[in-house]
Structure 1
Amino acid sequence: MALTVAGMSSDHAALAVLWGKSNAGGQPNLLLQHLLDAAAVGELIWDNYLAVHIKRWLDGVTGGRGRSFFALLCGWHDVGKASPAFQCKVDHLAQAVRAAGLTWRRLDGQSMRWHHTCAGAVIIESVLREAGWSRDAIGWVWPMVAGHHGLVPPRRDVFHAVGRFRDAQGHGAGWQASQAALVHAVVDQLGVDLPGLAPLQTPRRGAQLGLAGFVIMADWIASSDHFVGVFRLSDVTMAEARKRAAKAWATLELRGGWGDAPYQRVPDLVAVRFGKAARALQAVCVEVAEQMAVPGLLVIEAPMGEGKTEGALAAAEVLGQRFGFDGIFVGMPTQATSDPMFDRVLRWAGRVDPGLPVGLLHGKRMFNSRWNALRQSTHFAGIDDLGCEDEFALADQGRNVRATHAPAEWFLGAKRGMFMPITVGTVDHLLYAATRTKHVMLRHAGLAGRVVVLDEIHAYDVYMSQFLHEALRWLADAGVPVILLSATLPPQQRESLMRAYLQGVRSARDVELPSLEESAGYPVLHALTATGDPVTCTSRTATPWRATGRVAVQVLQEAPGDGPEAVVELLDHELRTGGCALVIRNTVGRAQRTYQALADRWGADEVILLHARLTVAERAARTQKALDLLGPPDEGRSRPHRLIVVATQLAEQSFDVDADLLVTDLAPIDLLLQRAGRVHRHLRPGRTRPPKVYVAGVRTQPDGPPAFPRGSEAVYGRYLLLRTAALVTEAVTAGGWSIPAEVPDLVRRGYDTLPIVPGTWRPATDAAYEDWQAEQRTRQHAAQQFLLAGESKLGTPTLAGLHDRPSGEAPSDDELAAVVRDGPETVEAVLVRQVAGRYLTLGGRSLGPTGDVSDNTLAEEVVGSTVRLPASVTEAAKTLEPLPGWYGNAWLHKARALCLDDRDSAILGGRRLTYHRQLGLLEDKA
C-alpha cells in the first residue's frame, strides 16, 4: 500500500516532509520510512532472533498478537521526531516542514532540551487514549518509546513537564493531527487494528526491560548504513521496508540461538555433549533440570574438579529447551577464569549446534587464541552510524563467509556483546545489568532468552553481592533460569542468593524461603521454583566422583620481615627429587619477591610467575604455559620433572592445574579450600607423593592471636583471617583435612558467628568482628546507591522513572568496573619505549616518531604491552594520552601510553614505575 501526496489532507501531507535522518547514505530519510524500516526489522527480530520464551509472554499479554505488537512498538519508537524541537535541527529540511504548514515559534535553549523521546511518549499516550487503550496498557507502553535512547524518565518529566515545552512539542491542530497521522500510518502499513491490539495485561517489569532493549536493537539496525535515505513519500511502503530490512539482515548475518526444537530426553546427555559418561553429580544436574516445574534457580555445590561445569551446561541445555530459552551466558569472576571457560563452552556449543555463534566478553579477549581465530574469520559487514566502535576494524574486510561459531560483526559493536546467543565473560557484564546506567536495557535484552550460569559464586564480596542480588531479582522477574556454581559456598550466602531470586519471582521484598537441610550431603543441588503460591526448594545429593582423601596441613613460619626465605627452604627440601608446586601469595609484591628468590635457586626455566601487573600478552602466554604443563593428564601433556608456579589470587579459581603440593598465604577459609583444590586435582597414575598444603602468611604468637602481613589484612580483613587461622590450627593438630567431605562444614564454621578461636584470641577477634561488621554495612550502603532499582522498588508495575535518580554512562570501562567492584580505581596503560625521539615497542620494534601502528601484527604487539597500573598513580595516569600515530586505530585510539626510558622506567604521580621482563611492573618512590 503506497502513500501518495496528491489529495492528502494537510496532516497527511506533512508525512512527505517530516524527516527522521538528515543523512542516511548521502540523502535525508523521511521519518515514516525510518519507522517502517524499524517495524520491518522488528518482524525479523521476532522471526529469526527472539527466543520462544519471549514470544510466549508477548503473545500472552496480547492475546496471540505478539509479533504485530512488537513490530508496532519498534515502528513507533521515533514518532517524537515529529515535533518542532527535532524538525528545526537542520535548516533546509526545516524549511520544507514549515512550507507544509507546520510552523513554530523560535525555540530558545530551554525549549531545545525537550527530547524527541519525551515528545514521542506524549504522542503515543494521546493516540492510544483516543483508541480506547486502558490506562494500565498505556502506562507500560509509553516508557518503551520514552526509553529508546537508553534512559527511562519518570512520568512527571514527560507528562507534567510537557506544558513547559508546548512550543517544542508542537501545539495546535496541525501538529497534533500530523503526529497522530504518523502513528496511524505505521498502524495502517502493518495492517493491524489499533483498538484490538491493546494489551490484555501488564507484563512483569523484568520482561518489559528486555523488551525495551529489543526496541533499541531494531532502531540501531534500522539506523545503520544498510538503510539508504528515501525522501519521496510515494516510495514509502511497508513492502519496500521489508525488502530493505531483509537485505540488511542477510548482510549482517544475524541469528538467534539453538532454536525451538522440543526437548528430547536422551539416556546420557553428558556423554553426548562431552564424550564421557556422566558422573553422579552431572546426572543429577540433568535430572533436576528435567523435573523443575518452571524456570527457577539451581544452586550446584560440589568439590573442586568434580565436573560442575559440564553438569551446569547440560542442565542449562535442558532448561533452555524445556522452557523456550535458546542460549546461555556464563559469568566468571575474572578475565583469567573466563578464557579457559570459553574454550570449554566453545567445544560444548559445537555439539549442541555447530553453527551457534559463541562470544567472549572481556577487555583482553584479543589475547585468547581461540577467540582470535574466530575474529580473523568474521565477515566485516560495515558498522552503523551510531558511533559504535568495533574491534574488528583491523580485520581483513575481503572475506564473505563467517566461520563456525564466529559471531556476526554487529554483535561486536559497543554495548551489544550480550546479544550473542552463547556468551562467556566476566561476571561484570551481568553486574552492569544491575546498575542504573544508560542503555542498561540492552543487557537485559541479551539475557532475556538465555539461561544464566554463574561460576565461582563464592568469590563475590558484600559489595559485589549487592549487584548480584539485584541482577537475580531482575532475572527472576523476567522468568530467566539461573544456575549458580560453587565448591565453597557459605550457607548464609546461599540463603541470601536464593532469597534475592525469590524476591524477583514474587516482586516483593518480604518473602519466606523454605528451610534447607544443612546436613543434606555433599555434593548437593538446590532447586528453587515458585508456581503460584507454593515455593518449592528441592535438595538432591550425589555420590562424589572420587573418595575423600586426607590432605596434610601445616603452618609455614616466616620471618617477621615477610621474606621468601622460608618458602625457598621448604621447596628446596620438597622438590629436591622433582615435583610440581603451586605458591599463591596475596599481593603482587610478595609474589614478585618469592619468584625472584626461587628463580635464583632453581633457575627461571623452572619457575613461572603470574600476577595482574604483567603485560596482558605476557600474562596470557604464561597462563597458557602453566595450563599446558600442569593440566589434566588425559590431553597428551608431558609433565615436567620439576616446576614451581608462583601466582597471586589468579590461580585461586578455574585454574585447571594439578600441583603436588601447595604453599599459600592465609586467606578466608572458602578461598583457602579453593586453593587447596589445585593439589592432586586430577587422578594421575603412578603418583606417590601425598597431598600437602603449607599455610604461610600467618605468624603464630605464644600468648595471643597470630600476626598477618599488612597486605593480607588489607585484602581480606583481620576478622576472617583470625577465624581461618583457628581452623588451620585445628587441622595441624588433627593431621589435616578430609577433602571433600569436610568442605561444607569448614566453610560454615569459617563464616558462622559461633566462637572457634582460642581464648587468648577472643579480645582481638571480637574487636576485629566489630570492625568487620561496620565495614560490611558501609560497603553495602555504598553499593546500593548505584543499583538499578533496589529492594524498595520491588512490585513497581512499569519502567517509568527507572532512571529517575542521578544516572548516566560511566565514561570508561575502568570507571564502570569500579562501580561494581569495590576498591581503588585503577587505570590501564600501554607501555612503549621512547628513545632518541622515536617510539619502540617493549620488544624493540620501531614505531617511528609518531607511534604508527598501521601494520596489524605490530598493532597487536603494542596492545599486548597493556598493563594495569598501581592505584597510587591512578589520578596521574588519567592524564596520559594516546600516541599521535594511534588516532584512528580501532584498538589504540583511546589507549593511554606510558613512555618508558631506555631503562624501561618512567616517573608518574611521584612514583617510579619500572617494567621488569620477569617480574612485571615494579613500583618505588621517585
Structure 2
Amino acid sequence: MLNTAGESVEGRALGVLWGKSDANGRPNLLLQHLLDTAAVGELVWDRYLSAGLRQKIDACCNGAGRALFALFCGLHDVGKATPAFQCKDPVLAERVRQVGLSWAELGRSGRQWHHTSAGARIVKAVLQDVGWPREAVDWVWPLVLGHHGLVRALGTPRELDAHGRGRWPAVQAHVVHTVARELGVEIARVYPTSTPPRAIQLAISGAVIMADWLASDERNFGGIDQPSGVSICAARERARMAWSKLGLRGGWRPDQLYVGEDVVEARFGVPARGVQEAALCLAREMLAPGLMLVEAPMGEGKTKAALAAAEVLAERFGADGIFIGMPTQATSDPMYEQVLGWVRSIDPDVPVGLLHGKRQFNPTWRALRKQLAFRGVDEFGCDDPYGSSSAVEARSGSLPAEWFLGPKRGLLVPVTVGTVDQLLHAATRTRHVMLRHAGLAGRVVILDEVHAYDVYMSQFLFEGLRWLGDAGVPVVLLSATLPPAMRAQLARAYLQGRLAKRDLDDRVLPSLAGYPNVLSVCAPGGVPRYDQRSAAAWRDSLPVAVDVLHEEPEDGPERVVELVRDALADGGCALVVRNTVARAQETYRVLREEFGADAVLLHGRIAIGERADRAERLLGLLGPPVNDHDEARPWRLVLVATQVAEQSFDIDADFLVSDLAPIDLLLQRAGRLHRHTRKRPPRLERPRFVVAGVAYDDGRPPRFPVGSSAVYKDHLLLRSAALVMAAAQGEGWSVPAQVPELVSRGYATDNGLLPAEWHGAAVKAETAWLEEQSRRTAEAEEFLLAGEDQLGTPTLQALHERRTADLSTDEAVAAVVRDGEPSAEVLLVRHDGREYCTPDGTPLGIHGEAVSDDDVLDRLMRWTVRLPADRKLTAAVEQELGPLPAWGPEEPWLHRSRVLRLDDEWSASLGGHILRYDADLGLLNRRQSGKSVGR
C-alpha cells in the first residue's frame, strides 16, 4: 500500500501522477501501471521465456536476470512522469499541480515530447547517478526508448519545460527508485556486468513490449486512482489472474525432449534414413549453437531429419519450440499438419501456430478455433495493440492462447509454422520488429526449400541469419541442393552474426562431400568450425535420358503435343512443365483437344479451391503406390503445370517435358520422373526427360521464349542450355548422384562450359545479370534491419533512425521482402441482377451478408485468385476494388478483401486488362489492345 500523507513533493507525486486517463472507467496511477507491468514481466520470465534465453540474460548480470528484466518492464513508462504527458488531461493535470509540481504553458513541440524519449533520458540519468558502468547504461536505456516499437536516436526536448524542471527531476528519480524498491532491487548494486549480444537486447526489448501490452489491457488491469490501492502485491495478483485467464504459456519443458539415439523412430515410428542419421550425428556433435544445412533430393526425409535434429538442438541449447518457414501458404498447410503430430508426441499442450494470411481457412486450424469461445478476436489486424482479453471458456492444447492471435504476435507462439516471409520480416527495419525476435530467440528455426530464394529475398535471409547467429539460435536449412556460392553465403551470414564481424575467410568452407549431405557450422570459443556428413541415398540414382525438343521462341505447342502423343501411345503419365502461365494454358488447350479428360492443367492463377482440388486429385493419381497393384494410377494422363510442380509436390511421372530453366530447377523437375518403383508402359520403362523451350542452331547461341528470359534471365539459361546439350549428346544424367556437380557447373563463373560461339552472348548476358543482381541487392539493403555495416555495433541505439517500413499486412510484407512486379489477390463474384453470388452460383445475399454462414464463406473463399504481376493492374485493384457492402470492420479479413465483379461471361475490364475466368484454364489475361500476356 502506497502512503503519501504528509510526505514530500516527491512522495505525494506518486499518488497523483497518472499513466492512463481511463482504464475501464477510472484513471490508473502511473506507479500502478509500472508495477503491473513489472509483475507481468516476472511471469513472462518464469512461464514464457525459454531456458536458453534466460541463461543468456543471466550471463550478463551475474544471475540477476529475472530481477533486472522485471525492473526494465517496470520502468518502461517512466517518461510519463513529465509535464509533456501529465498535461494531456486537464483534470488530472490539476491534481498534479496541487502537490507542488508545475510547468509553463507548453508549445506544440513541448506537447510532442514523447514519453518514450523522456523515459530513456530519465533512466539514463538515474542509472548514471547510482554508478552504473557506462557500457551497462548504454544498452539499457534503448529498451525504454523502444517500448513503442521504434528505437531512434535519443533526442532532446526543444522546450525544456516539457521534460520537467525544478522538482521534476527529483520526482522522476523517485519513481524509478520506488519501482525498484517495490521489486526488492537495489539499483546501485544490481547492474549488468557485460553487454549481451545485440540480438538478445532486441529480444529483451520485445519481451518488455509483450509485458506492457498485457499489462495495458484495461479489462484485466482496471484503473486504480487512489494511492492506498497501489502495491506490488496487488500488481502480482492482477498479473497472476490475467495470465491464468488468458491461458498464456511458453513451450515444452527440457525434460520432455527425447534424449535417446533413435529420435526418428521414437517420434515417427520408422527407422532413421541415412540423411536423418547424419543430421542427428552433427546435431549431437555441434559444440555451440550453429547452422545446419541439409541437402538432399525430395523424398529423402529432410523434414523428419530437421524435426529430429531440432529436438536434439533444443535439448542441448535450451530452446522450447521451433519456427518452420515454408516458401508458400500452400506448402505451409501440410507442414502444419505434420508438426501438430510431432509436437503432440512431445507435449500435447504446447501451442502450435499457423502463420499466414489465410490460416482461418485451413480446416484443422478452424476446427481447433471452434473449440474456443472467443469474443472480439481479431487475428488479422486491429488498431488496439493490446488486443482482446475475453475469457476463454474452453481451450485445445494445440491452439495458441487468444492473445497470441493478435497482430505482430504470431512468432511469439512457441511452435509456429508459416511462410518464410515471417522470418524475412524479422530482418526488416519495421516497427515492433523486436516482438518477432522475442519469439525467435528461444526457438530452433527451420527453413525449407532455401534454394527457391532469389538474390533479393536472399538479402533478407542473410540478414535474418546474422541476427539469429548473434542470438545463438540454432538454425536448420533444407534444400534439394545449392550452388556452392549460396552455400558459402549462408554459412558466412550466420557466422557473421555469431562473431559480430563482417570480414570472414569463407574459403575454409569444405566442398560438398557426397549427396545427400549435411553440413554444420558453429563458432565455439569464437573460432569457426565446419563439419559435414554425407549419407547414402534412400533410393538408388536413376539414369535419365536427356533429349532436346527444338522450339523456336514464337512456336506454338504442336511439337510438344506430337511428342507426348507418341510417348503415351501405349499409355502412361506425362508431366509437361512450362515456365509461364500463358505457355501452360496454350499448351493445355491443344493437349486437351488430343487427350480430352486425360489432360489436366495446374498453375497459380486457378482459383484456390479448384487448384487445391486438382492438386489433391493428382496426388491421389500420381503419388506413391498405395498397394502392389497400383490401382489408383490411370492408364493415361497428361499434367501440364508451371513451377508449382517444383515445390513439395510428390508426384511420379513416366515421361517428362520441361521448358529450359536454370539447372537446379531442371533437376528439381527431373526429380518427379520415375520417383517410385512401379510397372510402367514398355515405351517408358527408361526415364526420359525432354527439354523444350529452347532453339539450338549451329554457330549461334540458343534462343529462348520471352517469358523464360524474363523469369530466369539469359545468363543462367545459357549455362543450363550447355549442360542440357552435353547430356543430350552423351549419356544423360544420373539423378541424384550428379546433382551437386551439375548445379556447381551451372552456377560457376567460368565460360569453359559454353561453346566458343556462345561467348559473346554469354558475356553480354552475364554483364546484364550481374548489374541486375547488384541493383536488386542494393534495393533490398534499404530495408534491412541493420545490414553488414552495423555488425559489431554494441547497442540498439538509433536502430530505426534510417528509413522504416510500415508492414502492417501480409501484402505489405510480401511487397518488401519479395521483389518483382506487385500482384494482388481478388475474390471473384458475380451479380445476377438481384443479389451477389459466386461464379458457380452460390448466393451471397443482396449486400454479401450471407457470408455469416461458414459454409457460404468457404465456397466464396474457393474463388480467390491471384492476378498477374503488373503495376498498373495492381494499382487499379487498390484504387477501384473493395469489399461487398455488408463486409464491415467486424469482418476484418473480408473488410480488406478486393472483389472483382465478373459479368455473365465471367469477364471484367481492369487497369487496361481484359480478365476472364475459365473454369478449366483458370484466369485468362489480355491487354485491351488484344495481346495475351502473363507469366
Q: Which runs of 5+ in 2 are unaligned?
A: 929-935
Q: How does 1:244-393 map to 2 (within 5 A)?
A: 244-261=238-255, 265-380=259-374, 383=377, 388=382
Offset of 1:99 from its aligned partner? 3.0
Q: How does 1:65-80 map to 2 (within 5 A)?
A: 65-80=64-79
Offset of 1:906 from its aligned partner? 1.6
Q: 1:869 to 1:152 in 2, by over 3 A?
A: same
- 2:716 is matched with which residue? 720
- 2:600 is matched with which residue? 608
Of stretches 757-766 and 830-839 in structure 1, the one that deviates more from structure 2 is: 830-839
**Is the Cα contact below 8 Å between 1:394 and 1:856 reproduced in 2?**
no
Of stretches 502-511 and 637-646 in structure 1, the one that deviates more from structure 2 is: 637-646
**Is the Cα contact below 8 Å between 1:154 and 1:800 reproduced in 2?**
yes
**Is the Cα contact below 8 Å between 2:379 and 2:406 reproduced in 1?**
no
Offset of 1:269 from its aligned partner? 0.8
State the Cα deviation string for residues 824-869 of structure 1 (Å, max 9, x = none): 1222222221342632223323333322233333333334432222
- 2:633 is matched with which residue? 639
- 1:874 is matched with which residue? 874
- 1:806 is matched with which residue? 803
Q: Which amino acid aligns with 1:912?
A: I
**Is the Cα contact below 8 Å between 2:571 and 2:681 reproduced in 1?**
no
**Is the Cα contact below 8 Å between 1:581 and 1:645 reproduced in 2?**
yes
Q: How does 1:481-880 map to 2 (within 5 A)?
A: 481-513=474-506, 515-518=508-511, 520-558=513-551, 560-604=553-597, 606-633=598-625, 638-684=632-678, 689-755=685-751, 756-810=753-807, 812-836=809-833, 838-852=835-849, 853-872=851-870, 873-879=873-879, 880=881
Offset of 1:390 from its aligned partner? 11
Offset of 1:69 from its aligned partner? 1.0
Q: How does 1:409-420 map to 2 (within 5 A)?
A: 409-420=402-413
**Is the Cα contact below 8 Å between 1:368 and 1:620 reproduced in 2?**
no
| Partner-residue secondary structure (3-state), 1:221 | helix
**Is the Cα contact below 8 Å between 1:488 and 1:673 reproduced in 2?**
no
- 1:467 is matched with which residue? 460
Q: 1:382 to 1:728 in 2, by over 3 A?
A: same
- 1:60 is matched with which residue? 59
Q: Give 1:898's match in structure 2, choosing from 900, 903, 908.
A: 900
Q: Which amino acid aligns with 1:276?
A: V
| Partner-residue secondary structure (3-state), 1:752 | coil
CA distance in 2, matches of 1:59, 1:541: 38
Offset of 1:228 from its aligned partner? 1.8
- 2:30 is matched with which residue? 31
Q: 1:354 to 1:278 in 2, by over 3 A?
A: same
State the Cα deviation string for residues 755-777 of structure 1 (Å, max 9, x = none): 21222222111211111111111
**Is the Cα contact below 8 Å between 2:245 and 2:391 reproduced in 1?**
no
Offset of 1:811 from its aligned partner? 5.4
Q: 1:101 to 1:687 in 2, by over 3 A?
A: farther
* TM-score (structure 1 length as normaliser): 0.95
CA distance in 2, matches of 1:438, 1:394: 21
CA distance in 2, matches of 1:379, 1:313: 32
Q: 1:724 to 1:62 in 2, by over 3 A?
A: same
Matched length: 916
Q: 1:269 to 1:348 in 2, by over 3 A?
A: same
CA distance in 1, matches of 2:898, 2:178: 50
| Partner-residue secondary structure (3-state), 1:444 | helix
State the Cα deviation string for residues 506-538 of structure 1 (Å, max 9, x = none): 111111236244262112221111112422111
Q: 1:637 to 1:116 in 2, by over 3 A?
A: farther
State the Cα deviation string for residues 466-514 of structure 1 (Å, max 9, x = none): 1111111111011111111112201111011111111111111111236
Offset of 1:389 from its aligned partner? 7.4
CA distance in 2, matches of 1:93, 1:67: 34
Q: 1:271 to 1:434 in 2, by over 3 A?
A: same
CA distance in 1, matches of 2:786, 2:151: 12
**Is the Cα contact below 8 Å between 1:320 and 1:451 reproduced in 2?**
yes
Of stretches 342-351 and 495-504 in structure 1, the one that deviates more from structure 2 is: 342-351
CA distance in 2, matches of 1:384, 1:655: 33
Q: Which amino acid aligns with 2:909?
A: I
- Percent of residue pairs bearing the same amino acid type: 54
1:424 aligns with 2:417: yes
Q: Which amino acid aligns with 1:20?
A: G
CA distance in 1, matches of 2:173, 2:868: 58
CA distance in 2, matches of 1:503, 1:280: 31
**Is the Cα contact below 8 Å between 1:629 and 1:637 reproduced in 2?**
no
Q: Which amino acid aligns with 1:904?
A: W
Of stretches 790-799 and 506-515 in structure 1, the one that deviates more from structure 2 is: 506-515
Q: How does 1:139-288 map to 2 (within 5 A)?
A: 139-155=138-154, 158=155, 161-162=156-157, 164-173=158-167, 175-224=168-217, 225-261=219-255, 265-288=259-282
- 1:124 is matched with which residue? 123
State the Cα deviation string for residues 777-836 of structure 1 (Å, max 9, x = none): 111111111111111111000000000112141354323212111101222222221342
**Is the Cα contact below 8 Å between 2:482 and 2:743 reproduced in 1?**
yes
Q: 1:722 to 1:834 in 2, by over 3 A?
A: same
- 1:16 is matched with which residue? 15
Offset of 1:337 from its aligned partner? 2.2
Offset of 1:743 from its aligned partner? 0.5
**Is the Cα contact below 8 Å between 1:549 and 1:739 reproduced in 2?**
yes
Offset of 1:384 from its aligned partner? 9.1
| Partner-residue secondary structure (3-state), 2:852 | coil
CA distance in 2, matches of 1:258, 1:791: 34
Q: Which amino acid aligns with 1:744?
A: P
Q: Which amino acid aligns with 2:610?
A: E
- 2:393 is matched with which residue? 400
Q: Which amino acid aligns with 2:906?
A: D
Q: Which amino acid aligns with 2:284?
A: E
- 1:92 is matched with which residue? 91
CA distance in 2, matches of 1:362, 1:553: 39
| Partner-residue secondary structure (3-state), 2:772 | helix
Of stretches 9-18 and 38-47 in structure 1, the one that deviates more from structure 2 is: 9-18
**Is the Cα contact below 8 Å between 1:609 and 1:646 reproduced in 2?**
yes
**Is the Cα contact below 8 Å between 1:262 and 1:322 reproduced in 2?**
no
Task: Give runs of ≥4 in structure 1 deviating > 6 Å.
Answer: 384-387, 685-688
CA distance in 1, matches of 2:153, 2:761: 50
Offset of 1:262 from its aligned partner? 7.8
Of stretches 107-116 and 799-808 in structure 1, the one that deviates more from structure 2 is: 107-116
Offset of 1:875 from its aligned partner? 1.3
CA distance in 1, matches of 2:614, 2:403: 32
CA distance in 1, matches of 2:586, 2:20: 60
Q: 1:520 to 1:858 in 2, by over 3 A?
A: same
- 2:933 is matched with which residue? none
CA distance in 2, matches of 1:662, 1:767: 32
- 1:42 is matched with which residue? 41
Offset of 1:713 from its aligned partner? 0.4
CA distance in 2, matches of 1:655, 1:129: 60
Offset of 1:647 from its aligned partner? 2.1
CA distance in 1, matches of 2:339, 2:672: 21
Q: 1:88 to 1:770 in 2, by over 3 A?
A: same
1:478 aligns with 2:471: yes
CA distance in 1, matches of 2:47, 2:410: 18
